Amino acid sequence: MENKNVRTRFAPSPTGYLHVGGLRTALYSYLLAKKYNGSFLLRIEDTDQTREVKGAVENIINTLSWAGLNYDEGPGKSGICESYIQSERLPIYKKHAQQLIEQGDAYYCFCTQERLDKIRESNEHEHANLSAGHAGSGNFSGAGYDRHCRDLSKEEVNKNLESGKSFVIRMKVPLEGQVTINDLIRGQVIIDYKVVDDQVIIKSDGFPTYHLAAVVDDHQMKISHVIRGEEWLPSTPKHLLLYKYFGWDAPEFAHLPLLLNPDRSKLSKRQGDVAAEDYRAKGYLPEALINFLALCGWNPGDGDEREVFSIQQLIDEFSIERVGSSGAIFNLEKLQWLNGVYIREKSSQDIKKYIENTLGFDFKTNFAKFDDTKILKLIDLYKDRVKTLQELLDSLKLFCFGPNNIYNQEAIDKWVTSNTKNHVLSLIEVFKKEENFTHDNLASVIKTLAKDLGIKLVDLAQPIRISLIGTSASPGVFELLELLGKTESINRLNNFIEII
């Protein structure tokens, strides 16, 4: 890739949560900029006021910051433009739309909604006929508007404007010919102008549409590479035309493949979480999500099996050329595995701090019975076994509050026999006399008891686990007992024998 002054941007619309696909777009834009010591910008595309959701901008900013994708220019940060929020840049778009009108590259359209609806209906009808194999008029364009106002006389336009008729401004798209997009991921993509609509660039509320605003902004913000989802590929001919009309050089384009469910359907809410915030809330570490998303579409090279990448490694190794063009599978199991890798790498102190600061969990009030040292020991005990920090917290809760008479039935079926009650009763007696409730001593006491009872250690250890935390899957039973202490351990054993 040519090493020019690389400037990339992430340009989300604040319509709610930040989709993981959006976060991936931001990541690839960030990586490319950082690789070439360039700048990564955040621009808020809020020109569709009807879709705006309160708090969405703050959410985008917080999520990017959580993910470590800090932008160099954007809301709250100065740069070459005064504002990076489109609703604060309206006069700029108006001026440019005016320029296109004067040049004859755009026109006022006074068509009523009623008329537009009729056109849409008849287009749909024609399309249905064509798909069904009927002979239609033969020139169905796929583009919506019939260009009714494209050739209105100056007088007509002025008369309409003076009488205060509502209008939009549309760009003129050539009636024939083709455009070639040189996409960095897909190579040459050729699109016929016939399927491109005379796109509205200024709406009747005076706001620009995304198309005009994005082109003007990408130019003014000196964006060198536009990286975005493949759903924007069909819009690119319009954008290239706008660059041409304005006499500007177009940036490079890279359209990323869709994120797919394992069954290759489009990643959707119905099949799982799609909001980056949900992954944060469920206790995925940003390093893991970022590492995972980097691999959703990009790979380090043929035959290179590495899967764990720090952000610096990603910056060093990322290249657009290695982004595939077919859909990228969002494999949750891989994300969970990676999350486990990053959790294990962290110290228990760091994990505790992260849970407190980022997940907003207060250990002091929630686990009043356990001091910091115990909590840290517990985290150490559990962190190798969990895939998410939510899972870790759930385990800690179970440990701190006990099973509350809810025991895993499968574990009971497997480990509880008609003799178990007696075994546990003997254990309670031994524990009552035990002053030294520490790991090593408990290990020897329990082993001796198992021997005396003539059973295997596991046949005693598993019922203890179930008594203490309701399930047989847990870290070492001696550690659990030591951390819980004598009184609480005996209480839980007593509760357990009540129900068996």
Q: Give me the residues that bind ligand GLU (CB under 6 A), please.
A: 11-13, 45, 210, 214, 228, 232
Which residue carries 């959410």 as its tokens?
Answer: 59
Q: Residue 214 or residue 274: which is nearer to ligand GLU going by CB? A: 214
Q: Are 481 and 464 in contact (CB under 8 A)?
A: yes
Which residue carries 């994708």 as its tokens?
Answer: 69
Which residues, at least 6 apart from 183, have a Cβ–Cβ distance to it below 8 Å?
189, 233, 236, 253, 254, 255
Q: Where are the beta strands (DSSP E) in 65-196?
A: 106-109, 168-171, 178-183, 187-192
Q: Residue 86 or residue 395: which is nearer to ligand GLU going by CB? A: 86
Least distance between ligand GLU and beta carbon 340 (Å): 32
Q: Are 428 and 495 in contact (CB under 8 A)?
A: no
CA 245 to chain centre: 36
Q: Residue 232 or residue 248: which is nearer to ligand GLU going by CB? A: 232
- For 442, how many CA atoms within 13 A lie in the half-sphere containing its CB? 22
Q: Residue 21 or residue 402: which is nearer to ligand GLU going by CB? A: 21
Long-range CB contacts for residues 344-351, cutoff 8 Å, separation at least 24:
344/383, 344/384, 346/285, 346/383, 348/376, 348/377, 348/379, 348/380, 348/383, 349/376, 351/379, 351/383, 351/389, 351/392
Least distance between ligand GLU and beta carbon 101 (Å): 24
Least distance between ligand GLU and beta carbon 383 (Å): 37
> Is 433 among the residues known to form the active site?
no
**Judging by DSSP bridges, how do beta strands 225-229 and 178-183 pair with one another?**
unpaired
User: Helices then strands (H, E): number in the chain?
Assistant: 21, 11
Q: Residue 51 or residue 369: which is nearer to ligand GLU going by CB? A: 51
Q: How far apart are CA 7 and CA 225, in angstroms?
A: 7
**Judging by DSSP bridges, how do beta strands 106-109 and 328-329 pair with one another?**
unpaired
Catalytic residue of the set 95, 266, 269, 369: 269
Least distance between ligand GLU and beta carbon 185 (Å): 14
Q: Residue 75 or residue 136: which is nearer to ligand GLU going by CB? A: 75
Q: How far apart are CA 23 and CA 68, in angstroms?
A: 11
Q: How many CB atoms lie within 10 A of CB 133?
A: 7
Q: Kindly list the catalytic residues.
A: 269
